[in-house]
Amino acid sequence: MTLLVAVLDVPAAGAGALRAYEDRVLPLLARHGGALERRLRSPDGRTEVHVVRFATAAGREAFGADPERAAARALLDGSRSSPGWLRSRTCLSRRAPPGSAA
């Protein structure tokens, strides 16, 4: 499994174009064994975080090269958003027992 986190800074004027891009591109994830696990947006709508899972690294690569995704790229460019991708893994947090020093 491959887990990616996308962090997007969204200028106010680009929010509509970004939503249009996402509406076109996010459904393509399933074609490549991917899924949007979580989509978070800041209260002001200026930052989005997407947690995306792919069953395989090959699926992630295929999604990146998908021609329909490439065709929608102008919408992302028009949004003037600056996406950053982080390859990630799940970490379990360990909590200190009650009454102990953290």
Looking at residue 83, its pLDDT comes to: 76
Q: Which domain holds residue 80?
A: 2-88
More confident residue, 50 or 96: 50
Residue whose structure tokens are 């709508």? 45
Q: How many domains does the chain have?
A: 1
Residue 93 lies in a domain: no
Do 9 and 46 meet the contact criterion of CB atoms below 8 Å apart?
Answer: yes
pLDDT, tens only, 22-55:
999 999 999 999 999 999 999 998 999 999 999 9
Residue 44 lies in a domain: yes
β-bridge partners, 5: 51, 86
Residue 90 clears pLDDT 80, i.e. is over it: no
Read off the CATH number of the domain in which 35 is found.
Answer: 3.30.70.100
Looking at residue 100, its pLDDT comes to: 59
Residue 99 lies in a domain: no
How remote is the C-alpha of 16 from its chain's centroid? 17
Residue 58 lies in a domain: yes
2: left (phi over 0), alpha (psi -120 to 50) or beta: beta
Residue 18 lies in a domain: yes
> What are the two backbone dihedrals, phi and then psi, of residue 40, each rounded to the nearest 5 degrees?
-120, 145
pTM, 2 dp: 0.79
